[in-house]
Amino acid sequence: MERDDSDSFIHLDVNVKQGYIRTMDTRSSIAGIELPDQSERQRYSITDLSEEFGVTARALRFYEDEGLISPERQGLSRIYSRRDRARLAWILRGKRVGFSLTEIREMIDLYDADEEHEAQRRVTVDKCKARIDLLTRQKADIDAAIAELASFVATIEQQ
């Protein structure tokens, strides 16, 4: 019996390295990132996931090479499961908020560690809080730099 893990992952937001992402339209952004799969499908082609998530086939192959997703093979075709789809959503959300692939792997691999997924929740929450703290500090630094520049421009303009 195949396990349906697609709705069990914590939702984060998404971004991918340049060269591995195509522009996402509103439909794919909503269907692929914010909402669980409504089609109740069990299998997806590389084209299905590329279009839904707005990533290239190259990106999917990269994540496969990194061991983050593991599609079945039928001849030369890759067949992705609901589990692969859910993991891809995690990967993309994690990348968007700045997690490394190593951090993303740690979080999604913990899903299989226990049935209650407590370890995954705890680690994910801890990593997200740490990321929030880092981004908050960076935002303060950026705000300070903007204020400094604005003051400098005002000084120059008054001369």
The residue ranges of every structural domain in the chain are 26-158
Q: What mean pLDDT is reported for the chain?
A: 81
Give per-residue pLDDT as tens, 3-19.
444 444 443 433 343 34
Is residue 114 left, alpha or beta, with left meaning phi > 0 and alpha meaning psi from -120 to 50? beta
Neighbours of 33 (CB within 10 A): 19
Neighbours of 49 (CB within 10 A): 23
Q: Is a pLDDT exceeding 50 seen at residue 120? A: yes
d(CA 72, CA 30): 26
Does the domain at 26-158 match CATH 3.40.630.10? Answer given as no
Tokens 């499961």 found at: 81
How is the chain split among helix, strand and coil, in percent rounded to 5? 60, 10, 35
Three-state secondary structure call for residue 11: coil
pTM: 0.68
Query: What percent of the chain has a predicted confidence (pLDDT) above 90?
Result: 64
Dihedral over Cα of 55, 61, 63, 68: its sign: positive
